[in-house]
Amino acid sequence: MLKKIFIVALGGGRDKINNLVNILKKVQNNSLIIYSEEDDDSIQKAKFLSDELLLEKMPVNFLSSIENMNVISNKAIKFINTIEEEILIVVASRNFVKIFPVHFGDKVLKVKFQYISVTPGQCVEVDCEKKSQEKIIN
């Protein structure tokens, strides 16, 4: 059962990503990384996170940057319902990081989340058990 979702904004320097890795190492067990096909940066960051967290499964590409954000959010929710992992790490655009937690909270957790703006390399954590969200500043 999914316990947490970490949605990582594309961009940011290597230092931000390394800091994020240190944060995610605390919760890396039973994790899966998915990413958007925004550009090579998303693929590289997803693979880097996967390698650094020593995850057994390779990152999965399922998000399309050319689709409407609501369509992408709905696809993400459908995908989330099919996974067995407890932790999901999503590497995506800043727009997705801002919109998805609100959409997920409304549709799945039945709570109202506020929009959270992030800068490149920052992350939003959605705790599915506590039904809360938090911006992770790294």
Domain extents for the chain? 4-136
- Give the architecture-level CATH label for domain 4-136: 3-Layer(aba) Sandwich (3.40)
What value does the mean pLDDT take over residues 36-55?
77
pLDDT in tens, 56-110: 787 777 666 666 777 878 888 888 888 888 888 888 888 888 889 999 999 999 9
Distance CA 101, CA 96 (A): 8
Would you state the pLDDT for residue 96? 85
- Strand 4-9 with 31-36, pairing: unpaired
The structure tokens 């550009």 sit at 39
